[in-house]
Structure 1
Amino acid sequence: MIVNKFIALKSVLIFSVIAVLVLSCAKQTSKISDSDPWKKMELIVKSIPVTQFPDKTFNINDFGAVADGKTSNTIAFEKAIKACVQNGGGKVLVPNGKYLTGPIHLESNVNLHLEDNAEILFSIDPKDYPIVHTSWEGTELMNYSPLIYAKNKTNVAITGKGTLNGQANATNWWIWSGGKDYGWKKGIASQNDPKNREVLVDMAERNVPVSERVFGEGRYLRPNFVEFFECNTVLVKDITVINAPFWILHPIKTNNIIIDGVTVNSHGPNNDGCDPEYSQNVIIKNCTFNTGDDCIAIKAGRDADGRNVAIPSKNIIVQNCKMIDGHGGVVIGSEISAGVNNVFVENCVMDSPNLDRAIRIKTNSKRGGVIEDVFVRNLEVGTVKECVLLVTMFYNVYGSQTGNFIPTVRNISLENVTVKNGGKYAVWAEGYEQSPVENIILKDVVIHKVDKVSLLKNVKNINFINTIVNEKKVENH
């Protein structure tokens, strides 16, 4: 009895010590983030594990692949991946040449590696894509498989300097968008038909189980290109991606992912370059984005679906990237209901007459969400059409977007930013009277050729520190 009491007392003491250490560690981290968020970023970078693969190679040609750009290689990819897994993992090699295929489903411990002149051409026949658990514009559903898909996998990669070609254009996937610029004409079915997008959104609002949200044939909701769903420890490195049906790189509910040296060149509808969603510990570095929509768009679910999942996207790091065409360089939203925090953007170049904004945060009272702690430094901006920083709680597209979920947006910092052609406004920010946009800092920012310094509505505590606009120092007001 005495021994048991002693063991119990010892256990209490041990747990007490651990609790004190954890609290102490948390306080230390909090102090670091409060005093210098960039030190916090460095800690996040160091904490992210990297992929590792056995030194084994499985050449798809050894499994029947034919590099003529016409023969379907879906089975050859499946066989090579299966053999790789059965032998403990390694590299599935795509040699130089053009390989037509349906969707590629990756497994744990598999590195899909493309040689420099290898090109994977993905089928444009929707019937080649099975129905899987995926997501569309921030809402989960059963829909066409992404072109490359991994679900519940660990230690998985796509590498090499070859090309992923979705072959999308205005005669196939893009026409489903309902956009006249993408081949659509009156009388052609599209995602905008009432039984399609609207039905999905309504199902999510009614909390219909995802297994019953079955779309696919006849619903015209385009597949994502590369999607890692509920994965951990992922690498995408050096590849080029072109001609995407829809969103391009889409990690969803995925932690510890590094996207390095990737080139995205795709100007179709909703062709966001990279959309981390409900994802944490994400590094996007040394990449080039030339897109038909946002270059990088950080997501966190749409409306009721996002609130039910309730996983914020956080610890998102963007470094040494180049943004060319796009609606925004680095964007947060609009599918943002679970919230976003700890976003770090540094050492990037943004420049194009077709780039609308450099940094953009977009939400509304249907989305809600808390967006906070966004830190930007060392940005070189050539030309933007509209503004350098845009923050809005009134993002409105696809009809009425008002509800009872007032967003929170706070703590945004831009430091050491130079802009040659700033568009209409240096800063455009608008919040609600009961929920103003809070704490915007522009420090050591120089903006040339901009129409106005700011357009502000319900903004609390905006601070210009050594900021020059049109050759004049901006005073706080």
Structure 2
Amino acid sequence: MNRFFSLLLLGLIFSMKSFSQPHDASPWAKLDSIRTLIVAPTFADNTYLITDHGAKGDGVFMNTDIINSIITRCSEGGGGKVIVPKGVFLSGAIHLKSNVNLHFEDGSKILFSRNPQDYLPLVRSRWEGMDLMNYSPLIYAYQVENIAITGNGILDGNADNQHWWPWKAKKEHGWVEGMDNQLASVKQLTQQVKDRTPVADRIYGDGGFLRPPFIQPYQSKNIVIADITINNAPFWNLNPVLCENVTVRDVKIITHGPNNDGCDPEASKNVLITGCYFDTGDDCIAIKSGRNEDGRDLAVPAENIIIENCVMKDGHGGIVIGSEISGGAKNIFAQNLQMDSPELDRVIRLKTSSLRGGVIDGLYVRNIKVGTYKEAAIRFNMFYENPGDFLPQIKNVWVENLQVEKGGKFGILIDAYKDSPVTNFTVINSSINGVDIPVQSNHTKNVVFSNFKINNKTVESIESINNQKKENAEKF
């Protein structure tokens, strides 16, 4: 009996030792397993050249019906490639169907119509994280699978300070007093979300002045968007909503209108964004999961997202999570990025509020080279919008090998709730130079700085920065 208890005690001690051993400090072991879940679809060998079916690339003839009929024929025939040849093809809304690759040959362009009527009938869409019936996105896919947009062509949204952009109600984008705008509709839609009005009754379109996204696959899976150039978007550029298995590869986005986010995976899972170029009027990449009740009720996070080998120029932020993040976000990886612009406000930005709620758990960033930016290299903000009753959470943020040549006002800027501090925030092997204020922070928990310098001075902890500020204040 004594021998039995001795063996049992030894077993318990061994178990305790096993559980007390620290796990691998680096979170990057997850990356490869996520990558295996992201697999590009393949397509049948069938090809459909749109000019063989009456399409005209003269920039004048309206090709909407022809392009959509060919896409339908291709899908119903087992799938394949719908080819846009050299030329400028004017079109309204294009709707992708399952097993179709919309492929652009060199020298091809689709020039999208500026007439809102060419984006009817209304479709189920999502606008800033809120579901509604609205104008069709310029390229739209609903509940389909195995789709692609590929090739070296140009997608031109044809928006400017006379078309689409003035609806934002900003004078810098062409709006003047007395012009129609989106403000009343945004207020109404926000209230409908709060009231949980059925989506079928949230009807906008004509008279609503809510600009459509450029490319929005909705509740779809197995998607590739590769090699294309996107210009002059009315609104957000790439916005997969509730999608799974998405690859965005070698896409170039140059557009400086209002809300011209580059790529916004929203409540989507298993997403790879690689080799892309962003020069935008808003966030370059923004991870989202729905606004307020629409996000919380569905409770689908954005998860398993890999961002790598991209270049960011102008934008409100390079890598951003939020603000429509009510469904949460987890397992976001970003690596091997270049950012450089005096018009890039922030390098890494997490924005949310107690109106949103949601849990951001797991943002892992490494190997980021930055020339310059305007406001902050790393920015946490839990007060992005008016307060509500749903405390947000931000935890497990890892930044490794962030190298900034000449920063803006702040190195790190943190504004969090006392009852919901930013938790488990790590910065290692990093350097930020040329900032006015190294760190400004209020509520944090378990922050680790290791081999981290700001303005060539080692930053050991947030507490050390705060103590230094206190000492300096006492001298005066």
Q: Same fold (TM over 0.5)?
A: yes
RMSD: 1.2
Answer whether contact 1:430 1:459 (CA < 8 A) is retained.
Answer: no
220, 225, 235: which one aligns with 2:224: 235
431, 441, 445: which one aligns with 1:460: 445
Q: Does 1:184 align with 2:175?
A: yes
Alignment deviations for residues 399-448 of structure 1 (CA, whole Å, 9 cap, x no partner)? xx111101011111110110011111111112111111111111000111
Counterparts of 1:33 and 1:247 in 2: how far apart (Å)?
40
1:316 counterpart residue number: 305
Q: Does 1:267 align with 2:256?
A: yes
Task: State the Cα distance separating 1:78 from its structure 2 match.
Answer: 1.6
Which region of structure 1 is more displaced relative to structure 2, 31-40 or 356-365? 31-40
439, 463, 470: which one aligns with 2:424: 439
Task: State the Cα distance separating 1:33 from its structure 2 match.
Answer: 8.6
Residue 428 to residue 234, structure 1, CA distance change in 2 (3 Å)? same
1:62 counterpart residue number: 52
Number of residues of Structure 1 aligned to a counterpart in Structure 2: 441
Residue 417 to residue 46, structure 1, CA distance change in 2 (3 Å)? same
Other structure's SS at 2:126 match: strand
Other structure's SS at 1:186 match: coil
Counterparts of 2:258 and 2:93 in 1: how far apart (Å)?
21
Pairing of 1:122-201 with structure 2 (within 5 A) = 122-130=112-120, 131-192=122-183, 194=184, 196-201=185-190
Other structure's SS at 1:466 match: strand
Counterparts of 1:34 and 1:126 in 2: how far apart (Å)?
54
1:306 counterpart residue number: 295
Task: State the Cα distance separating 1:34 from its structure 2 match.
Answer: 5.9
Amino acid at match of 1:51: P
Task: State the Cα distance separating 1:79 from its structure 2 match.
Answer: 2.2
Gaps of 5+ in 1: 1-30
Other structure's SS at 2:40 match: coil
1:249 counterpart residue number: 238
Counterparts of 2:103 and 2:394 in 1: how far apart (Å)?
41
Amino acid at match of 2:53: F
Task: State the Cα distance separating 1:187 from its structure 2 match.
Answer: 0.5
Pairing of 1:265-414 with structure 2 (within 5 A) = 265-396=254-385, 401-414=386-399
Residue 357 to residue 220, structure 1, CA distance change in 2 (3 Å)? same
Q: Does 1:258 align with 2:247?
A: yes
1:41 counterpart residue number: 31
Which region of structure 1 is more displaced relative to structure 2, 347-356 or 80-89? 80-89
Counterparts of 1:344 and 1:408 in 2: how far apart (Å)?
18
1:219 counterpart residue number: 208
Counterparts of 2:352 and 2:419 in 1: how far apart (Å)?
15
96, 110, 118: which one aligns with 2:86: 96
Residue 33 to residue 119, structure 1, CA distance change in 2 (3 Å)? farther
Q: Does 1:86 align with 2:76?
A: yes
Counterparts of 1:172 and 1:132 in 2: how far apart (Å)?
21
Answer whether contact 1:168 1:244 (CA < 8 A) is retained.
Answer: yes
Structure 1 segments (4+ residues) deviating >4 Å:
31-35
Task: State the Cα distance separating 1:387 from its structure 2 match.
Answer: 0.8
Task: State the Cα distance separating 1:36 from its structure 2 match.
Answer: 3.7
Counterparts of 1:386 and 1:122 in 2: how far apart (Å)?
35
Alignment deviations for residues 152-189 of structure 1 (CA, whole Å, 9 cap, x no partner)? 01100000010000000011100101010011001011
Task: State the Cα distance separating 1:90 from its structure 2 match.
Answer: 0.4
Counterparts of 2:347 and 2:22 in 1: how far apart (Å)?
27
Amino acid at match of 1:199: Q
